[in-house]
Amino acid sequence: MIAVRTVTPDDARAPNDRAFVEDLGRRCAMASVSTLRSAPEKVVSGAYDRLVEIVDGQSHVTFIAQEGEHRVGFLLMLDDLPDEVTALPQAFIAYMAVEPEFRGRGAGRALLAAAEAEARQRRLPHLTLMVTEENEAARRLYERDGFQTERRLLCKAL
């Protein structure tokens, strides 16, 4: 059974949680790269590290999904990043990853439910995220959870 907990600074597990988020995020980062953009894994991994630094510098919540004592996934949610078009408040999922061997077993769904519950508690009117068109498994998960396409990022290879 998958359980989700919120990482708090006073939690003795926090340093290990941080290492888990860094490691799993780096290992999964290439899934965020569209086939329209060719990028070496080292560059993408560095971009992920910069994303974590940016998240750390802002108000955010980290959720860890566990099966027993084994960490199986995480979600990083910014809670004070207004929508860039309307300037309305929102909760923004900056990154989510699940260990490959645990995908399809409810960890992603549990992480999304925890993020939604936290956003509702904070009275944030929207929960948003970005996903590549090619990441069909993630898109199906998000769509089943009620997410709808609001905008599209278009790219033209030159």
* HSE-CB for 81 with a 13 A CA cutoff: 20
Question: pLDDT class for 153, splitting at 50, 70, 90?
Answer: confident
Start-end of H helices in 5-154 = 14-28, 41-56, 107-121, 136-144
CATH number of the structural domain spanning residue 117: 3.40.630.30
Range of the domain at 97: 2-144
Question: In this structure, is residue 16 part of a structural domain?
Answer: yes
What digits encode the pLDDT tens for the residues 86-113?
Answer: 999 999 999 999 999 999 999 999 999 9
Structure tokens at 133: 């068109």
The total number of structural domains that make up the chain:
1
What digits encode the pLDDT tens for the residues 4-51?
Answer: 999 987 788 888 999 999 999 999 999 999 999 889 999 999 999 999
Per-position b or e across 64-90, b if 16+ CB within 10 A of its CB: bbbbeeebbbbbbbbbebeeeeeeebb
Q: What is the pTM of this model?
A: 0.95
* HSE-CB for 4 with a 13 A CA cutoff: 22
CA pair distance 123, 126, nearest whole angstrom: 9
Question: In this structure, is residue 7 part of a structural domain?
Answer: yes
Question: In this structure, is residue 85 part of a structural domain?
Answer: yes
